Structure 1
Amino acid sequence: MTTPRSGPDAVPPPGCPAHAGPGEGAAGPASPAALRTAESLYGPEFAADPAAVYARLRTYGSIAPVEIAPGVHASLVTGYRTALEVLRSPERFSKDPRRWRGLADGTVPADSPVVPMMMYRPNALWTDGDEHARLRGAITDSLSRVDPNALRGYVEHSADTLIDRFGPEGRADLLGEYGAILPLLVFNQLFGCPPETGDKLVEGMSGIFDADADSEKANAVLAEGVAELVALKRERPGADVTSWLMAHPARLTDEEMMHQLVVLMGAGTEPQQNLICNGLRLLLSDDRFGGDLAGGSMPVEDALDEVLWTDPPMANYAIHYPLHDLELDGTLLREGDPVLVSLAAANTDPALAGDRRGGNRAHLAWSAGAHTCPAKSPARLIAAVAVEKLLDRLPDTELAVGVSRLEWRQGPFHRALAALPVRFPPITVPVTTDEPSGASTWNTNPAPSSSTSPAQTSTEREPAYGNGGRQRWWSSLARWWRGR
């Protein structure tokens, strides 16, 4: 199975400027940014110290040339004001990757590791105008049916289940044994995904985010998994987000269903684990928060605010394509060349006044404009509950290595730890075979948005399917919960 393409197979229509080769057509001559030395965003130096790279990039101004994979060039927006201008200007910038000239003319190879994260799919992330509004409306209306109280309860139960597993050991990798698994359990519950299908979804999504993985294979595995989930829910709808998307008046096709699920899973798993683990790292290593912890207070919300400002889970993304050649802050941006927004660099722009971030939600971690994250409230709730529960159950947790020895995964888009080893006094856990409840208690009668008809999105309530985890954890945890 090859990398899936949708619509016009990711090839622009005839006459589109993306067909023009380098230096020809409407794009004109190379932009000044393209002629300057590009900083690499995918190597070990960037992973170890992105702030130093951003500082060098700022010497170019608010937009700088970068290389996001071998031979793949882009412009990176590092200024906060300029980032907002890009994010809020659909009349000048498109989200549609079919405009990406380098991919269309073969300059960027189809098997480049960044292509699966940038290629066109008919989802709310990569569309504009009325089509974007239709797809986004289906997502926001379906997510609005999730009861926050039920979601909190499920996160708490899942967190307790995971902590019970490693708590008696007195040590754990909070990334591999907690932060990476918990969002997948929640995703499984929200979307009614059985463990065997979850295996494929997690393998595919993990491979897309991993710079060292076979991106084409990962994309194929992911496509197979979401196709299975869509087919299952067409036959057996339930009280879950997948079924509500299907029942929405937007009347999503199976292909559209698959691609909305991909974008939702991508946003709800890898970035979510990074937010959880980056928050725990900060709380366990920064005296501003550690002192409060020692005094019996857990400033989890302040820590999450700090992470969202300085180490957002998706550090560089929000990819746009100029609709025509234009000059922005003294830099010529060529039609069809990718422009990435550095959410991390924009948030730490020296031009921003003050350094008090606790309670300040003006960061760009959730993006801004028409494409701002539609799930930021549940995402923050999941992270906050996960961190609070861990520190409540294991209050004497400390890093097992110095904070400077923690390693970060390589890649241009995310800010992700490779591991988060900790130690703590072992806890005693009573033997139990309880499983997380399978009964869905999501809100089936929300206040819908203007695009939703309540009668058309209502589904019969039935038990959700089993749980799982990253790669084979979906199946292994399901067996473990059942005492097998």
Structure 2
Amino acid sequence: MTTPRLTPEAVPPPGCPAHAGARRVERLYGAEFAADPMASYDRLRAHGSVAPVEIAPGVHAWLVTDYETALEVLRSPERYSKDPRRWRALADGTVPADSPVVPMMMYRPNALWTDGPEHSRLRGAITDSLGRVDPNALRGYVEHSADTLIDRIGPKGRADLLSEYGAVLPLLVFNQLFGCPPDIGDKLVDGMSGIFDADGDSEKANAVLTEGVADLVALKRREPGPDLSSWLMAHPARLTDEEMMHQLVLLMGAGTEPQQNLICNGLRLLLADDRFAGDLAGGSMPVDDAIDEVLWTDPPLANYAIHYPLHDVEVEGNLLREGTPLLISLAAANTGTGIAGDRRRGNRAHLAWSAGPHTCPAKGPARLIAAAALEKLLDRLPGIELELPVEDLQWRQGPFHRALAALPVRFPPIAPRDRLSAGREGTANPVLPSSTPPASTPTVRVPGSGGMPRRRWWKSLARRTYEP
């Protein structure tokens, strides 16, 4: 459906889409949106392939809800930039720097927020370093970490699979993948999860995150090892310390909160949807199908892939001003009329990993981690079921993610594995090969300071999991 053309006079400076005619501007935050985002997407689709939205109080943007239009934006770097320094409303102070969405949208010199040759240089360092990770060894470490967590919850017969499994597993895996000690890992995960929350202290979370990555870069300058951080540092792209920090933030952002959501949204589907729940004993196919279904209908990042028009551009009669944020609704685009439908089984043409030059470079490892986590849990807890009706589960608020607030379950209690045999199954460094890149730049001095006080038990658990 084509809307009437919005003239420049209809969109006051600096191009705020909130005043786009008399239409209702959907809010992509708050309890109503968190509970039923699909209702918002349905209303937005009535206005065509793009529509005005509010992503935080006073922060306005356009949202793409159509699959083909999303692909056109994602594949057109000559018309749409990823660089947030083009965001006019932030630059002129219309959007305050302390807005809760700014940490997820602000410029960082990383592969996500750059264009052209600079993007190619930074992305090349990431993809080359990720390519050194052995997927078979990665699966083994995920399974070992999953067993450790299941041993902890198994005797109790009930658990919150979000806080006790889905949120912890990426921490254990990424601590290992990055060669990251638990104390630094705790800062990284606390900071990253904090900037995803619309109602959290995003400035404080961003400070904790910055402190954690600075600590990690300083450590790897002193003590490089067979890990992703050291490989990035030794790459021919010759990343500076600041660039190192920001590539690590990008990788951490893609590998913790979204990974947690993929695992937990997959578990929710497997435990509650009759298409999957009745066939959990049938091997890995139900898990693979469930992951595909989640990536189509409830992708971990529902609305993101932010772009900025390089020039004023008209899309279906809507005038998108240069420098106005344009978000891609990966969830809405995936579920629009005529997209996949009943043909989603085995169909991976969804946009959950984005598309074009900024397609997620870690989609293979991300899917592997989620599949291994789901398979291990269902194998060891075969009688698991939700502790309350699926419609009573609560979703966290925020414009970007699709994230459960909790996932309470019950199951017949099980005994932990035999500690000696469990110890023989894991190794101190099972994920990465033994080659160690040389340190190529001097050590960075970082002032010490404390982290956030929550999740302390994760630290001790991480130490027990991967220290020899």
Same fold (TM over 0.5): yes
- Is 1:291 aligned to 2:284, yes or no? no
Between the two proteins, the alignment pairs up a number of residues equal to 441
Give yes or no for the alignment of 1:439 onto 2:429.
Answer: yes
What does residue 254 of structure 1 align with? 241
How high is the sequence identity, in percent, across the aligned residues? 77
Residue pairs, 1:24-63, within 5 angstroms: 33=20, 36-63=23-50
Could you list the per-position Cα deviations for residues 77-112 of structure 1 after superposition, in whole angstroms to 9, with x for gaps in the alignment?
000000000000001000000000010010000000
Paired residue secondary structure (2:239): coil
Equivalent position of 1:167 in the other structure: 154
Letter in structure 2 aligned against 1:58: R
CA deviations 1:319-367 (Å, max 9, x no partner) are: 0000000101221110000000000000001132542111100000000
Determine the C-alpha separation between the residues in 2 that align with 1:34 and 1:474: 50
CA 1:294/1:385 → structure 2, altered by over 3 Å: closer, same or farther?
Answer: closer
Alignment match of 1:189 (pick from 156, 169, 176):
176
Cα distance, 1:474 vs. partner? Answer: 3.6
Provide the secondary structure at the position in 1 that maps to 2:46.
helix
Tell whether the 8 Å contact from 2:70 to 2:333 is kept in structure 1 after alignment.
yes
Residue 224 of structure 2 is matched in structure 1 by 237
Q: Which amino acid aligns with 2:61?
A: A
Write out per-residue CA displacement over residues 141-179 of structure 1, whole angstroms, 9 at most, x where no aligned residue. Answer: 000000001100000000000001100111111111000
Residue type at the aligned position of 1:159: A
User: Which AA in structure 2 matches 1:341?
Assistant: I
**Secondary structure of the residue that 1:60 maps to in structure 2?**
coil
What SS is found at the alignment partner of 1:76? strand
The 1-side partners of 2:283 and 2:126 are apart by 39
Structure 1 residue 177 corresponds to structure 2 residue 164: yes
User: What's the CA shift for 1:206?
Assistant: 1.4
- In structure 2, give the amino acid aligned to 1:139: I
Structure 1 range deviating more: 35-44 or 116-125: 35-44
Displacement of 1:458 in angstroms is 4.2
Partner AA of 1:195 in structure 2: P
1:401-412 correspondence runs (5 A): 401-412=388-399
Secondary structure of the 2:52 match is strand
Report deviation, 1:440. Answer: 4.7
Aligned match for 2:345, one of 358, 376, 381: 358
Q: Which runs of 5 or more residues in structure 1 are unaligned?
A: 1-21, 446-456, 461-468
In the other structure, the counterpart of 2:85 is 98
Which residue matches 2:443? none
| Secondary structure of 1:355 counterpart | helix
C-alpha spacing 1:305/1:205, structure 2 compared with 1 (3 Å): same
SS at match of 2:271: helix
Q: Is the 8 A contact 2:18 2:60 kept in 1?
A: no
1:197·1:228 contact (CA, 8 Å) conserved in 2?
yes
Moved over 6 A (4+): 27-32
Distance 1:35 1:192, change over 3 A: farther
Decide which of 322, 326, 329 is 1:342's aligned counterpart: 329
**2:428–2:466 Cα contact (<8 Å) kept:** no
Deviation at residue 430 of structure 1 after TM alignment = 4.3
Q: Distance in 1 between matches of 2:465 and 2:134?
A: 24
Answer yes or no: is the 8 Å Cα contact 1:196–1:474 preserved in 2: no
Q: CA deviation at 1:302?
A: 0.4
RMSD: 2.2
Answering whether residue 96 of structure 2 is matched by residue 109 of structure 1, we say: yes
**Cα distance, 1:184 vs. partner?**
0.9
Match of 2:444 in 1: none
Q: Whole-Å Cα distance in 2 between the matches of residues 441 and 351 of structure 1?
A: 41
Contact 1:237–1:243 (CA under 8 A) maintained in structure 2 = yes
Equivalent in the alignment of 2:449: none
Shift of 1:31: 8.8
Query: Normalising by the residue count of structure 1, what TM-score does the alignment of the two structures yield?
Result: 0.87
Is the aligned partner of 1:215 residue 2:205? no
> Contact 2:137–2:432 at 8 Å: present in 1 too?
yes
Distance 1:187 1:353 in 2: 33
Distance 1:384 1:250 in 2: 32
For 2:262 and 2:18, the matched residues in 1 are separated by 35
